[in-house]
Amino acid sequence: MASITLRSTSTTAIAILLLASVALPGPVVANKDHDALTALKNGLQDPTGELNNWNPYSTDPCTWTHVECDNITKRVIRLDLGFRKLSGHLAPELGNLDQLEYMEIHQNNIQGTIPAELGNLKNLISLTLYNNNLSGHIPPSLGELQALKYLRLEHNNLSGPIPRELVGLSNLMILDLSNNDLCGTIPRSGAFQNIPLTSFANNPRLKDPELPGAGNNDNNC
């Protein structure tokens, strides 16, 4: 009886060891960027073939056009897709590019919402999505991007209030939310103290800047 129990226990132990070795990290990390970019491509229409060499069967996205990797870690740090006649939507899997520093997708015709998953990009320095056709709310999760210096979302169709979470972006230097359909009041505390009011222009439903010490007024917004 005891020996049978022992044998089945060691079989289980071997099975666990085998599973563990299969799950060890290795090229898995490189595939994470590959899979995220493939999901992005699948959500876009690309009439001029800018993404033609984003081949799902080539495992190294560092060789793809408009993509830049860190030379040492081989992780994607930059995505340069500005002014490329792209339409479609932004895949939520973009939030898996966790080493990304620059996401430049401005001056296209991208629709749909800004994925809340972009709040996972802890190394992001620049997020430029201006001059597209994005709608829906600005995700409050963008307030988690503590490395962010440049946030340009102007000339879209974004609605809802300006998330108060954004005033905590302590490295923010440039913010532009102008020419959208935002509503409520303009925060003036924290990172927003030095942002010029022109960065909020042409949002017909946006009310006055908040007075120091006064709360926000996003009622019915």
What is the binding site for ligand NAG (CB under 6 A)? 71, 109, 111, 133, 135, 157, 159
Nearest-angstrom CA–CA distance, 51 and 210: 44
* Nearer residue to ligand NAG within complex by CB, 52 or 133: 133
Strand, coil or helix: 42? helix
CB of 203 to ligand NAG, least distance (A): 12
Please choose, from the candidates 86, 61, 93, 87, the residue with its C-alpha nearest in 3D space to the C-alpha of residue 75. Answer: 61
* Nearer residue to ligand NAG within complex by CB, 55 or 159: 159
* Nearer residue to ligand NAG within complex by CB, 183 or 186: 183
Q: Which residue has the tokens 């800004």?
A: 114
* Nearer residue to ligand NAG within complex by CB, 88 or 209: 88
Nearest-angstrom CA–CA distance, 83 and 104: 9
CB of 53 to ligand NAG, least distance (A): 18
CB of 219 to ligand NAG, least distance (A): 20
CB of 140 to ligand NAG, least distance (A): 18
The secondary structure element, H or E, covering residue 189 is none
Please choose, from the candidates 81, 96, 79, the residue with its C-alpha nearest in 3D space to the C-alpha of residue 32. Answer: 96
